[in-house]
Amino acid sequence: MTVFGGSSMTSESELLAHERTYHVFNMLVRWAMVALGSSILGLTLWFATPAGFLGGAVCGLLAFVLGYWFVVRHEAHQPLDPWAEGR
């Protein structure tokens, strides 16, 4: 692969490595979204409403489980190829 200008062909192994890296980064971002969302919900209910600790903990845990189910789990089982059937 050339650094400045010029034409070069990207090998198949480089493309696969890039796809895997993108997939791992995408999963990391999804886990971060679920963790931050459930934490913010739980802490907000705990400190800013009459729900208290138990209400915040239960709602935060429920949000984490639902976030995992709909955000993380769905993407983890998808093929790396974005043009594959069933995507």
pLDDT tens by residue, 28-39 = 999 999 999 999
Instruction: Tell whether 70 is covered by a domain.
Output: yes
Domain residues for 46? 37-76
14 occurs within a structural domain:
no
Rounded CA gap, 55 and 50, in Å? 9
Report the alpha-carbon distance of residue 29 to residue 59 in Å, rounded.
22
Confidence at 40, pLDDT banded by 50, 70, 90: very high
pLDDT for the residue 4 = 59
- pTM equals 0.74
Q: Is position 28 within any domain?
A: no
Q: How many domains does the chain have?
A: 1
Q: Is 41 within the bounds of a domain? A: yes
d(CA 61, CA 49): 17
Residue 7 and residue 9: Cα distance in Å, rounded? 7
Q: What is the mean pLDDT of residues 60-86?
A: 82
* Coil/strand/helix, residue 5: coil
Could you tell me if residue 7 is inside a domain? no
In a domain, 4, yes or no: no
The 8-class DSSP code of residue 69 comes to I
